[in-house]
Amino acid sequence: MPMKPLPVKPPPTRSSATQPPAARPAATMLAATNGNRPPAEEEAPRIDPRFACFALEIRPSPIHRWGIYALERIPPRRKVMEYTGERISRRETKRRGEERELHYLFTLNSYWTIDGSVGGSGAEYINHCCEPNLVARIVRERILYFSLREIQPGEELLIDYRFEKKMEEVPCRCGVPGCRGTINLLE
């Protein structure tokens, strides 16, 4: 007698404001660099609560398009979120980088890249800042964001993308007093 598959119950949907609690080496993370606001016809991004360690929400950012904001206090040195998406080869990374206007590509190692635009956790919307409050760490082939200091409710989560100096220079829009003027490393 064949076994019937069990029905799969989808996870409950939540607004970003009610999501439960759920870093960045000198790797390459390509992010969108054109325009500060999302187009009206674009579907609003979301945070996957399975990968967030704190209550977070996505809303428009003064730095670039969308940003992720803390809804609760985040202590220093705590895992905040995991960067997820489709794992793609270097060849596919190059193809997507040339083909798309917006990029959410994070280099995992010398061969694999994570494309946050395909099945991403929402971490792909964390913007660059020259004075970040997060750092990315690669732990057991996973990209994890950790808080560098205490983050207050309402504060945007920010990371230093640390684009390599040899890459095409991308201007920085973070606006902090110590801004280096580019997302790229200077040395």
Give me the mean pLDDT over the 125-147 stretch: 96
Confidence at residue 1, expressed as pLDDT on a 0 to 100 scale: 44
pLDDT at 70 over 50: yes
pLDDT at 72 over 80: yes
pLDDT at 134 over 80: yes
Coil, helix or strand for 90? helix
High-pLDDT (> 90) share of the chain, %: 57
Confidence at residue 43, expressed as pLDDT on a 0 to 100 scale: 65
Coil, helix or strand for 42? coil
Lowest mean pLDDT among 36-45, 103-112, 166-175: 36-45
Give me the mean pLDDT over the 143-158 stretch: 98
Distance of CA 172 to the CA centre of its chain: 16
Confidence at residue 170, expressed as pLDDT on a 0 to 100 scale: 87
User: Which contacts of 100-107 are long-range, i.e. CB under 8 A and separated by 24 or more positions?
Assistant: 101/32, 101/34, 102/31, 102/32, 103/30, 103/31, 103/32, 104/29, 104/30, 104/31, 104/32, 105/28, 105/29, 105/30, 106/27, 106/28, 106/29, 106/136, 106/143, 107/27, 107/28, 107/29
Contact 186, 165 (CB under 8 A): yes
Quote the pTM value.
0.75
Confidence at residue 42, expressed as pLDDT on a 0 to 100 scale: 55
pLDDT at 11 over 80: no
Confidence at residue 185, expressed as pLDDT on a 0 to 100 scale: 85
As a whole number, the mean pLDDT across the chain is 81
Tell me the domains of the chain and their CATH numbers. Answer: 17-159 (2.170.270.10)
